[in-house]
Amino acid sequence: MSDPKLQAIPLGGLGEFGMNMLALRYGEDIIVIDAGLMFPDAELLGVDIVIPDISFLLENREQVRAIILTHSHEDHIGALPFILAEINVPVYGTSFALALVEHKLEEQGLLESATLRKVRPGDRIPIGPFTIEWIHVTHSTVGCTMLAITTPLGVVIHTGDFKIDPTPTDGELFDLHTVADYGKRGVLALFSDSTNAERRGSTPSERTVRERFEEIFTHSQNRIYVSCFTSSIHRIQLMVDLCFQHNRKVAFIGRSMVNNTEIAHRLGYLHIPDGLLLRPGEARQANRGQVTLLISGSQGEPLSALARAAVENHKQAVIEPGDTVVLSSRIIPGNEKAIYRMIDRLFKRKAHVIYADGGGPPVHVSGHASQEELQLMLNLTKPRYFIPIHGELRQLSRHAGLGSHLKEIKETFLLESGDVLEFDRAGARKAGRVTVGRVCIDSGSVDEIVEDMVIRDRRHISEDGIVVPIIAINKSTGKVETPPEIVSRGFVSADGSDGILIEAKEIILRTLEESSGEERADWGVIKEKIRADLKRHIKKQTSRHPLILPVILEI
């Protein structure tokens, strides 16, 4: 018999941002590192999230031993409920990551059947032929780790997401000593985060944002709204500390902001002094100069808390002239249009808006390593084989070039999702491909998983038809100029004789009447509201799910 081989198979996350997932296979045993999602592009109509195609794991389900999590971000844990519904294996992760996973599984009714095993940095756990050690790293959230996986052929290191922050706000330093120790003993392969591989120098410490926020809190006379990624617990802790220092109360607004801060507080990652916290409903009545609201929606999602506040459609978050709004996050590529439209709305509210492109000291720093830190990781681990991961091809290629000076690196592999990288005693090589792809999730329901957008749309239209509401809206006033028209194919008879289309027009009119003029002038918001209301009504009346594509005519 031939010697067993070690295979590394990326199922997502290479050549794209998001859907991070890597399978390691030795003999008859497979472990999976991370299970992330991706948020859809604008053209993926009706799709809420995108997850990896796990056909390879389903074909080999008897060999899958565990899913290993590096940290808690959605692009690393977001696909777990959908995967565990198909393959119920133990999930290992740190306390914060598993707490977020528990919440997701509870929503899907999967928590009771799941096996979640909590680990801490420094733990070494055998799983089949693999022994995994979790190593503490600094990133933009809490409880982040990289993995050192000892296999019969050598050590594989997977960095997860990281930056090397010399002055982390929680005092928990990156465990470079353990990384260096593995490098001295010999590393077979390094799989390393490439997100910031195009950026020269090193990524600033999380502490560098304090200067600008000190200035903001010192000079702001009215309410302060801060929107950041809701998993950025270090950033949220800074806001809480500054509120205490400047005699302000703090309120958390938005579902994900409330959920994540509750979990972080319960686990001891977020410390809130007694008497500082306001309920969301109390924030509006509080003295404007003595309250700060941490609000979700930094990416301009149409129905997020901040986007709704920007069009004056949020009960607790009411932005008035003179209020300060800080977007303390990066702009995720593809979200530019929605974010800048929301920023324009905030300026229309006569708010003082501060964001990454506004100049001055930073209100956000990245959680990913830049070139100097990536080179340090290579120098410490001295891998025999180097595989850049997490990024599009230009980031992977730039990262690959950073290791060219190291004589210890025998070969660097630029992989695509689905490539099989095979190791044995003779070396490493690409050895074929497995099935990969994107699975689109509509309305967050496991029952509505679709494997391919073209097939999905064809099946969707053939079975349930298509409904196209057409609404003419005056861009300047937000006024509806003419009654809505509805074009449908394959749903009801052309004349709408069964009354469904007449009722649908009434639903549209009601939605428009209940929306503000600014909402009607914001195409992203009003389209989503019309689509959601019609979808709910049609499903209730007919149990069908036509494809609904609202069209706004600008007058």
d(CA 509, CA 108): 34
185 and 212 fall within a common domain: no
pLDDT by residue (tens digit) across 66-75?
A: 999 999 999 9
349 found inside a domain: yes
119 token code pair: 């680990």
Q: Look at residue 445 in the predicted model and tell me its pLDDT.
A: 44
133 and 85 fall within a common domain: yes
Weakest-pLDDT range from 15-29, 393-407, 447-461, 523-537: 447-461
Domain CATH for 510:
3.10.20.580
Total structural domains in the chain?
3
Residue 181 neighbours by CB under 8 Å, 6+ apart = none
Report the 3 state secondary structure along 57-105.
HHHCHHHEEEEECCCCCHHHHCCHHHHHCCCCCCEEECHHHHHHHHHHH
Q: Look at residue 449 in the predicted model and tell me its pLDDT.
A: 54
* Res 545 pLDDT > 90: no
430 and 486 fall within a common domain: no
447 found inside a domain: no
Residue at a domain's end among 396, 417, 440: 440
* Res 25 pLDDT > 60: yes
Q: Look at residue 185 in the predicted model and tell me its pLDDT.
A: 96
Weakest-pLDDT range from 107-111, 116-120, 191-195, 417-421: 107-111
* Res 2 pLDDT > 80: no
Pairing of the two strands 291-295 and 224-227:
parallel
CA angle 361, 17, 64 (to 5 degrees): 130
d(CA 296, CA 298): 6
25 and 81 fall within a common domain: yes
Residue at a domain's end among 394, 417, 440: 440
* Res 495 pLDDT > 60: no
Residue with tokens 């069908």: 544
428 and 389 fall within a common domain: yes
Confidence of residue 526 (pLDDT cuts 50, 70, 90): confident
506 found inside a domain: yes
Weakest-pLDDT range from 20-29, 239-248, 285-294, 360-369: 360-369
Give the DSSP H/E element, type plus range, for residue 237: helix 233-245
Give me the half-sphere count of Cα atoms (radius 13 Å) on the Cβ side of residue 35: 27
- In a 3-state reduction of DSSP, which class is residue 195? coil
Domain CATH for 339:
3.40.50.10710
314 and 417 fall within a common domain: no
Which range marks the domain in which residue 171 is found?
6-201+366-440
Q: Look at residue 71 in the predicted model and tell me its pLDDT.
A: 97
pLDDT by residue (tens digit) across 170-198?
A: 999 999 999 999 999 999 999 999 999 99
370 and 298 fall within a common domain: no
pLDDT by residue (tens digit) across 121-132?
A: 999 999 999 999
Length of the chain as a residue count: 555
* Res 486 pLDDT > 70: yes
Average pLDDT in the 207-228 region?
95
Return mean pLDDT, the chain.
90
Q: Look at residue 46 in the predicted model and tell me its pLDDT.
A: 58
Confidence of residue 395 (pLDDT cuts 50, 70, 90): very high
Q: Look at residue 210 in the predicted model and tell me its pLDDT.
A: 95
**Model pTM score:** 0.82
Q: What are the backbone angles phi and psi of residue 458, rounded to the nearest 5°?
A: -65, -45
- Write down the catalytic residue from 193, 419, 464, 522: 193
pLDDT by residue (tens digit) across 446-469?
A: 445 554 555 566 566 666 788 888
332 and 233 fall within a common domain: yes
75 token code pair: 């692009």
Confidence of residue 165 (pLDDT cuts 50, 70, 90): very high
185 token code pair: 């003993």
Confidence of residue 491 (pLDDT cuts 50, 70, 90): confident
* Res 343 pLDDT > 70: yes
174 and 54 fall within a common domain: yes
- Write down the catalytic residue from 158, 368, 460, 537: 368
Q: Look at residue 453 in the predicted model and tell me its pLDDT.
A: 56
Specify whether 357 is catalytic.
no
* Res 54 pLDDT > 80: yes
172 and 211 fall within a common domain: no
* Res 259 pLDDT > 90: yes
* Res 157 pLDDT > 80: yes
214 found inside a domain: yes
Of 324-333, 340-349, 468-477, where does the model show the most confidence? 340-349
Number of Cβ within a 10 Å radius of residue 516:
15
DSSP 288: G
Burial 479-510 (b: 16+ CB within 10 A, else e): ebeeebebebeebbeeebeeebbeebeebbee
Q: Look at residue 188 in the predicted model and tell me its pLDDT.
A: 98
Q: Are 136 and 174 in contact (CB under 8 A)?
A: yes
Average pLDDT in the 363-371 region?
95
Q: Look at residue 446 in the predicted model and tell me its pLDDT.
A: 44
Q: 479 or 116, which is more confident?
A: 116
350 and 374 fall within a common domain: no
Q: pLDDT over 90 for what percent of the chain?
A: 68
Average pLDDT in the 6-34 region?
96
Q: Are 68 and 462 in contact (CB under 8 A)?
A: no
Q: What are the backbone angles phi and psi of residue 258, rounded to the nearest 5°?
A: -65, -45
pLDDT by residue (tens digit) across 270-306?
A: 999 999 999 988 988 899 999 999 999 998 888 899 9
Specify whether 265 is catalytic.
no
Residue at a domain's end among 306, 341, 358: 358
DSSP 344: H
Weakest-pLDDT range from 39-43, 394-398, 483-487: 39-43
Q: How far apart are the first and last CA of the chain?
A: 74
211 found inside a domain: yes
330 and 478 fall within a common domain: no
